[in-house]
């Protein structure tokens, strides 16, 4: 039994090191050491293992469990970025937005337009549209080259393309909301471009090691591309004379370099007013939150919802409401 406890202690130590290592993504860029960013992808599994071991130490009445518990308290906010509970806001919203990656839409926009009209948001931000995206009833729209678009019922007073690559994009629109200008930024960071057949058992890839090599080979270069894209988007946020709402598909999970640096000095609306799981991408059998809505500290989030009632693509739409004073 002593050997088992010693082995579990060593395992728990390394699990805790890996979990705490995700905090370094706020400081260490991918071009310096990209492997830290890999830890953010493993965070849910590592945290579940941590919780199971904490229960084991509690049942075993071992003092070492208290040490691991105290270290785990540091990880409360990183965990809340995946699963959260917040009290219902009493504020009355006066701005509603929805963001969605609509990549899997193949047969025109009829169904998706109907969905957005039923949501009745003031501003709609989409990623990976295929042809001109103009929702009926939304008189203002801006698009780049089939990557990101913004449709608005409210007046767009200025716009700018921030990031424009073949498969990544960022779009800025300054929109008049209740007499104030709010800067909306729709983001789609460079995707990882996984071939799904290579993530399952096939004659070509039938062992664990080649799959890991393939996945890491896709992740590391993309992390570095994200660093360049984030620098351009951050400038639009930092230089903004107006409050900012940043939304879209970051192609990155919570506690990653992308999360920390795009969300710097902004509020994660899921953490502010969201409940339950923040998972927004449902194509893999693994909890993945990669769609976000952030806002400036001067903006009050009121409601946040990942709408799992529809499957308009491989992403669930994310809806948020705000109080703009």
Q: What is the pLDDT of residues 22-42, one digit of tens each?
A: 999 999 999 999 999 999 999
* pLDDT score, position 314: 87
- Each residue of 209-238: b (16+ CB within 10 Å) or e? eebeeebeebbeebbebbbebbeebeebbe
Average pLDDT, the chain: 90
* pLDDT score, position 245: 98
Q: Which of 16-25, 115-124, 138-147, 150-159 has the lowest mean pLDDT?
A: 138-147
Q: 5 to each of 166, 206, 210, 249, 275, how far by Cα in Å?
A: 52, 34, 33, 42, 36
Average pLDDT over residues 36-64: 94
As a whole number of angstroms, the distance between CA 133 and CA 158 comes to 18
* pLDDT score, position 127: 93
Please report the sign of the dihedral spanned by the C-alpha atoms of residue 246, residue 300, residue 44, residue 14. Answer: positive
Q: Which residues pair with 255 in a beta bridge?
A: none
Please say if the pLDDT value at position 288 is more than 70: yes
Strand pairing class (148-152; 140-143): antiparallel
Please say if the pLDDT value at position 233 is more than 70: yes
Taking CA 219 as the corner, what is the angle to CA 244 and CA 277, rounded to the nearest 5 degrees?
Answer: 55
Dihedral of CA atoms 225, 228, 234, 239 in degrees, nearest 10, equals -150
* pLDDT score, position 205: 47
Q: Name the pLDDT band for 209 (thresholds 50, 70, 90).
A: low
Q: 76 to each of 19, 23, 100, how far by Cα in Å?
A: 11, 12, 28
Q: Name the pLDDT band for 311 (thresholds 50, 70, 90).
A: confident
* pLDDT score, position 271: 97
Please say if the pLDDT value at position 222 is more than 60: yes
Helix (H, G, I), strand (E, B) or coil at 324: coil
* pLDDT score, position 130: 79
| Contact call for residues 141 and 152 (beta carbons, < 8 A) | yes
Would you state the structure tokens that stand for residue 59, as one six-digit string? 């049942």
Average pLDDT over residues 108-123: 92
Q: Which residues pair with 197 in a beta bridge?
A: none
Please say if the pLDDT value at position 306 is more than 60: yes
Instruction: Please state, for a pLDDT cut of 70, what percent of the chain lies above it.
Output: 91
* pLDDT score, position 242: 97
Q: Torsion-angle region of residue 137: left (phi > 0), alpha (psi -120 to 50) or beta?
A: left
Those residues with Cβ within 8 angstroms of residue 31's Cβ, 6 or more apart along the chain or in another chain:
224, 227
Eight-state DSSP code of residue 285: S
Average pLDDT over residues 239-266: 97
As a whole number of angstroms, the distance between CA 153 and CA 170 comes to 20
As a whole number of angstroms, the distance between CA 19 and CA 278 comes to 19
* pLDDT score, position 110: 87
Please say if the pLDDT value at position 197 is more than 70: no
| Contact call for residues 119 and 98 (beta carbons, < 8 A) | yes
| Burial (Cβ within 10 Å: 0-12, 13-18, ≥19) of residue 50 | buried
């Amino acid at each position: 039994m002593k050997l088992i406890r010693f082995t579990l202690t060593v395992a728990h130590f390394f699990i805790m090191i890996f979990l705490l290592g995700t905090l370094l993504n706020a400081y260490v860029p991918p071009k310096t050491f990209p492997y830290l960013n890999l830890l953010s992808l493993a965070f849910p599994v590592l945290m579940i293992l941590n919780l199971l071991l904490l229960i084991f130490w509690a049942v075993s009445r071992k003092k070492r469990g208290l040490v691991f518990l105290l270290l785990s308290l540091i990880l409360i906010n990183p965990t809340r970025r995946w699963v959260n509970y917040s009290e219902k806001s009493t504020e009355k919203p006066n701005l509603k937005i929805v963001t969605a990656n609509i990549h899997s839409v193949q047969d025109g926009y009829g169904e998706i337009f109907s969905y957005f009209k039923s949501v009745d948001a003031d501003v709609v931000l989409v990623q990976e549209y295929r042809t001109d995206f103009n929702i009926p009833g939304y008189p203002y729209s801006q698009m780049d080259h089939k990557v990101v678009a913004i449709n608005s019922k409210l007046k767009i007073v200025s716009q700018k393309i921030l990031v424009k690559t073949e498969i990544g994009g960022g779009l800025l629109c300054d929109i008049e909301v209740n007499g104030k200008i709010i800067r909306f930024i729709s983001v789609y960071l460079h995707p990882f471009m996984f071939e799904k057949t290579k993530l399952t058992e096939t004659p070509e890839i039938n062992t664990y090691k080649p799959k890991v090599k393939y996945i890491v080979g896709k992740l590391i270069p993309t992390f570095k591309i994200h660093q360049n894209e984030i620098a351009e988007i951050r400038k639009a946020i930092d230089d903004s004379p107006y409050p900012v709402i940043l939304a879209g598909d970051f192609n990155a999970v919570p506690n990653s370099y992308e999360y920390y640096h795009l969300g710097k000095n902004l509020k994660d609306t899921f953490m502010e007013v969201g409940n339950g799981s923040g998972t927004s991408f449902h194509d893999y059998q693994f909890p993945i939150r990669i769609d976000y809505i952030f806002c400036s500290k001067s903006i009050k989030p009121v409601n946040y919802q990942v709408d799992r009632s529809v499957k308009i693509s491989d992403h669930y739409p994310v809806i948020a409401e705000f109080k703009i004073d």
